[in-house]
Amino acid sequence: MMSEAVLKIDGMTCMHCKTAVEEALLGVPGVTGAQVDLITKQAMVAGVADLTAMATAVDEAGFKVVGRDQRKSDLTAMLGRN
């Protein structure tokens, strides 16, 4: 079953940061996609990975997950998309 999460990430300032966070998230077992938006400081993550594992990977890359926006995930669930 696929799911999506939007993670709020602190510490990103440049394209190198964006790439580092995306690569860190893609290295987490179960993550099938990751796209970071530098303007909103958010990462949209697809897959079935554990939130703690994703936060640890981001932390090890030098950044910090400071929150999660569940609205997209909730909307996906409401529409019956997995």
pLDDT in tens, 60-81: 999 999 998 765 544 444 344 4
Whole-angstrom Cα distance, residue 80 to residue 82?
Answer: 6
What is the value of pTM for the model shown? 0.81
76 CB-side CA count, 13 A: 16
7 and 42 Cβ atoms separated by less than 8 Å: yes
Q: Which pLDDT score is estimated for 78?
A: 39
Domain ranges of the chain: 3-78
- Count of beta carbons in the 10 Å neighbourhood of residue 5: 21
- Mean model confidence pLDDT for the chain: 86
Cross-strand bridge partners of residue 36:
43
Q: What is the fold, at CATH topology level, of the domain defined by 3-78?
A: Alpha-Beta Plaits (3.30.70)
